[in-house]
């Protein structure tokens, strides 16, 4: 049974799989046309020429023309269909009949049958072949009948030439035709298998191509479009927006402090989080908009067909809120936020390069303003960025040209009025612009990393000043210098301080460093370790701008610090009347005293403030009331005057 099935299977032609159907359909159509051309040729060559040569053969030309033109007509109706193929098979065979009538002889006719069958293999299908075989067998039987019984129509014999062949010849002919059909059927089978195989390989290659082109245009981690794809898509978006006078927005997104997650929880958690970020972003935008990942934690969203700034604002707000929701990765529950900058075509820029740059600038502004927010690009923002870039670019040169100087603001003991030291504050003596204050360049230096060079110089210069003061006899004077975030985290800070102290032979106890509350509060573990090392070298530590951060009492107790510097805003609260506004200040003063820390008030401008602070037993103050920050020579003059009074 099984063998029988196998045999049948081998005899049957293969069925055409779905993916090859299209190419088969195309080849059917092509073969239809080839057959039509061949029919036309054989009509013109075999029947036209003979009919010209022998005037009795005109009817062959007419009959051949009838068959050929009928097939042309059929083509108009059935091109590419099975019906057309069957008709083509019949037509080819009817031509053999025309040949016989033209007295071309039986042998020629047999040749024609065989060649016609072979030609029909073009179709890679059995139907036309079978139709042809059937036609030729049937018309032989019919011929024989007509000849044998001399059938006549309208008094004329239907067969003009009588070969008088017997049925034995008909049977023999049928056997020939069947064998020929079997041979050509086999050829058709081979052709079909070959064509199917070809299609299979093509399909495989196409599939591979698709995979390849997907991975070339998509990010492997998140599956989002990558930079290349984004650029291609943006080109299209731009020309579309231009043509239909539409607006679109480009959003630049950057995760806040993503590096911390990678550093503390590992890259696997970071990667898993990025995948979630990608899908959360994708869920937030419309189908026609684009989200692409263009860097580690950087994404771009394109909002097409933008109708108003409110829509854009709503989208960005939605993104921020979605990010504030909890993130769960493995066992971790994480908090995450994102900063977004946006630029709009054509309002902000008309080319993609600028649009990207402006959205990036706006994103940086969102970061600088405290992260977890969005920021629109504006022209004033652009001017500001240019200004900042200019500052960033000229700072190195300014350092070489010794344009930076330290000024010193006296620190006064409230009760006695004695200047016990000062704070070193940096100034930039710009050759064109005059004095530039640190508020304008410290943050930029921090962003570019130049702060490490600048900060090292400040430490060195402060300690050198301490050395000079000691040489003048002011050995007990304290000077503090400000340490920025990046500098504080830098591994060489302690070594830098110790080396400077050694070089200028300065007692560590006379140097203090000021670190702002917010810097200290970040990564408490690291802060504690660093502060302990600085303290062990004998240098004093002061918490600057106290009250502006969020340090809790329990943290404050753990920190190895010597003094608190109350932020100016609390001192400003000391008004002539009303106690309410002083509540915070009073609390801070009590807190400092309870923790055994010295308390310094900064920004004291009026006598009333000074008097109040003295009454509240604050230890020291700084402020314009005593003096602004002044050059070193003026500072020593102030010291000298102060000493001579007290
Ligand atoms: P800060 O450390 O809190 O310094 C106090 C700021 O308040 C100084 O501004 C000082 O001139 C100003 N000030 C002092 N008394 C008064 C007053 O009575 N009224 C008013 N309105 N202001 C007063 P300055 O020098 O412009 O410095 C600003 C900030 O720049 C500093 O704040 C500090 O954070 C940073 N900075 C200054 N020098 C350096 C430095 O060498 N390195 C680092 N990393 N940062 C520095
Ligand atoms: Mg300070
Ligand atoms: Mg301060």
Q: What is the pTM of this model?
A: 0.60
- Structure confidence at residue 614 (pLDDT): 95
Contacts of 570 (CB under 8 A, 6+ apart): 547, 584, 585, 588, 601
Protein residue with its CA nearest to atom 6 in ligand 1: 603
The tens digit of pLDDT for each residue in 56-91 reads 677 788 888 999 999 999 999 999 999 999 999 999
- Structure confidence at residue 230 (pLDDT): 94
What's the token pair of residue 623? 């402020």
CA 369, CA 372: separation in Å to the nearest integer?
9
Q: Is the Cα torsion angle 381, 384, 390, 392 positive or negative in sign?
A: negative
Atom of ligand 1 nearest to the CA of 438: 30
Please provide the average confidence, as pLDDT, over all residues in the chain. Answer: 90
The tens digit of pLDDT for each residue in 479-506 reads 999 999 999 988 899 999 999 999 999 9
- Structure confidence at residue 241 (pLDDT): 95
The tens digit of pLDDT for each residue in 456-476 reads 999 999 999 999 999 999 999
3-state SS, residue 332: strand
Protein residue with its CA nearest to atom 21 in ligand 1: 603
Contacts of 343 (CB under 8 A, 6+ apart): 249, 250, 252, 349, 354, 355, 356, 358, 359, 362, 376, 377
Q: Which of 419, 381, 342 is nearest to 625 (CA)?
A: 419
Residues 245-254 have a mean pLDDT of 96
- Cis peptide leading into 321, omega within 30 of 0? no
- Structure confidence at residue 115 (pLDDT): 86
For the chain, domains (ranges, CATH) are: 2-200 (no CATH), 227-377 (3.30.70.270), 389-645 (3.20.20.450)
Protein residue with its CA nearest to atom 42 in ligand 1: 482
Residues with Cβ–ion distance below 5 A, ligand 2: 482, 514, 544
Atom of ligand 1 nearest to the CA of 604: 18
In the chain, % of residues over pLDDT 70? 95
Per-residue burial over 431-452, b = 16 or more CB atoms within 10 Å of its CB, e = otherwise: eeeeebebeebbbbbbebebbb
Residues 507-519 have a mean pLDDT of 94
Q: Is the Cα torsion angle 367, 370, 375, 379 positive or negative in sign?
A: negative
CA 243, CA 229: separation in Å to the nearest integer?
21
Ligand number nearest to the C-alpha of 627: 1
CA 564, CA 161: separation in Å to the nearest integer?
129
Q: Is the pLDDT of residue 162 over 60?
A: no
Task: Give the DSSP H/E element, type plus range, for residue 463.
Answer: helix 451-471
Q: Is the pLDDT of residue 148 over 80?
A: no
CA 322, CA 240: separation in Å to the nearest integer?
30
Protein residue with its CA nearest to atom 12 in ligand 1: 603
Asked whether 441 and 484 are in contact (CB, 8 A), the reply is no
3-state SS, residue 578: coil
Residues 544-572 have a mean pLDDT of 86
Q: Is the pLDDT of residue 609 over 90?
A: yes
Angle at 388 between CA 382 and CA 394, to 5 degrees: 140
Asked whether 20 and 196 are in contact (CB, 8 A), the reply is yes
The tens digit of pLDDT for each residue in 209-233 reads 888 888 889 999 999 999 999 999 9
- Structure confidence at residue 157 (pLDDT): 66
Highest mean pLDDT among 7-11, 50-54, 183-187, 550-554: 183-187
Atom of ligand 1 nearest to the CA of 516: 34
Binned at pLDDT 50, 70 and 90, residue 243 comes out as very high
3-state SS, residue 500: helix
- Structure confidence at residue 555 (pLDDT): 81
Q: Is the pLDDT of residue 553 over 80?
A: no
What's the token pair of residue 598? 């010295």
Length of the chain equals 646
Q: Is the pLDDT of residue 421 over 90?
A: yes
Pocket of ligand 1 (CB under 6 A): 409, 425-426, 437-439, 442, 455, 458, 481-484, 514, 544-545, 602-605, 622-624, 629
């Amino acid at each position: 049974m099984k063998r029988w099935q196998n045999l049948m299977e081998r005899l049957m032609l293969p069925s055409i799989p779905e993916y090859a159907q299209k190419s088969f359909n195309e080849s059917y159509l092509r073969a239809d046309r080839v057959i039509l051309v061949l029919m036309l040729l054989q009509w013109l060559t075999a029947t036209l020429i003979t009919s010209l040569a022998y005037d009795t053969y005109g009817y062959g030309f007419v009959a051949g023309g009838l068959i050929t033109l009928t097939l042309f007509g059929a083509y108009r109706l059935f091109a590419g269909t099975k019906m057309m193929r069957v008709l083509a098979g019949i037509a080819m065979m009817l031509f053999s009949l025309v040949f016989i009538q033209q007295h071309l002889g039986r042998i020629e006719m047999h040749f024609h049958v065989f060649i016609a069958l072979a030609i029909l293999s073009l179709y890679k299908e059995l139907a036309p072949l079978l139709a042809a075989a059937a036609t030729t067998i049937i018309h032989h039987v019919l011929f024989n009948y007509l000849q044998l019984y001399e059938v006549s129509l309208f008094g004329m014999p239907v067969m003009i030439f009588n070969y008088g062949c017997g049925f034995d010849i008909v049977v023999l002919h049928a056997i020939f035709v069947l064998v020929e059909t079997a041979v050509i059927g086999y050829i058709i089978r081979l052709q079909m298998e070959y064509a199917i195989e070809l299609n299979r390989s093509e399909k495989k290659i196409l599939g591979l191509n698709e995979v390849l082109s997907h991975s070339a245009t998509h990010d492997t981690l998140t599956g989002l479009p990558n930079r290349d794809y984004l650029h291609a898509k943006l080109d299209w978006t731009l020309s579309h927006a231009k043509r239909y006078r539409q607006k679109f927005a480009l959003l630049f997104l950057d995760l806040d402090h993503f590096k911390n997650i990678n550093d503390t929880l590992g890259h696997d958690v970071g990667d898993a989080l990025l995948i979630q970020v990608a899908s959360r972003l994708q869920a937030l935008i419309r189908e026609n908009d684009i989200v692409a990942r263009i860097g580690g934690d950087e994404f771009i969203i394109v909002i097409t067909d933008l109708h108003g700034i409110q829509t854009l604002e709503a989208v960005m707000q939605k993104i921020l809120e979605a990010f504030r929701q909890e993130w769960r990765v493995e066992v971790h529950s994480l908090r995450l936020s994102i900063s977004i900058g946006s630029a709009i075509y054509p309002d902000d820029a008309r080319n993609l390069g600028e649009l990207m740059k402006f959205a990036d600038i706006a994103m940086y502004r969102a970061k600088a303003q405290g992260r977890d927010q969005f920021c629109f690009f504006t022209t004033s923002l652009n001017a500001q960025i240019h200004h900042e870039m200019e500052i960033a670019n000229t700072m190195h040169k300014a350092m070489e040209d010794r344009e930076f100087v330290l000024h010193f603001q006296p620190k006064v003991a409230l009760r006695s009025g004695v200047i016990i030291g000062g704070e070193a504050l940096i100034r930039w003596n710009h050759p064109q612009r005059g004095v530039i204050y640190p508020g304008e360049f410290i943050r930029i230096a921090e962003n570019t990393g130049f702060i490490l060079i600048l900060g090292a110089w400040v430490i060195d210069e402060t300690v050198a000043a301490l050395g000079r003061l000691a040489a003048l006899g002011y050995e007990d004077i304290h000077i503090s210098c400000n340490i920025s975030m990046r500098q504080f985290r830098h591994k060489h800070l302690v070594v830098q301080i110790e080396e400077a102290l050694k070089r200028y032979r300065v007692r560590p106890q006379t140097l203090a460093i000021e670190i702002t509350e917010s810097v200290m509060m970040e990564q408490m573990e690291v802060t504690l370790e660093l502060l302990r090392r600085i303290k062990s070298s004998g240098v004093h530590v002061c918490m600057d701008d106290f009250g502006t951060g969020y340090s809790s009492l329990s943290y404050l107790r753990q920190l190895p610090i010597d003094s608190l510097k109350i932020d100016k805003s609390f001192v400003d609260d000391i008004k002539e009347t009303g106690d309410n506004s002083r509540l915070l200040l009073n609390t801070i003063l009590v807190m400092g005293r309870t923790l055994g820390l010295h308390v310094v008030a900064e920004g004291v401008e009026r006598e009333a403030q000074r008097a109040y602070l003295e009454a509240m037993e604050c230890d020291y103050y700084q402020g314009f009331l005593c003096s602004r920050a002044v050059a070193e020579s003026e500072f020593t003059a102030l010291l000298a005057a102060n000493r001579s009074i007290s």
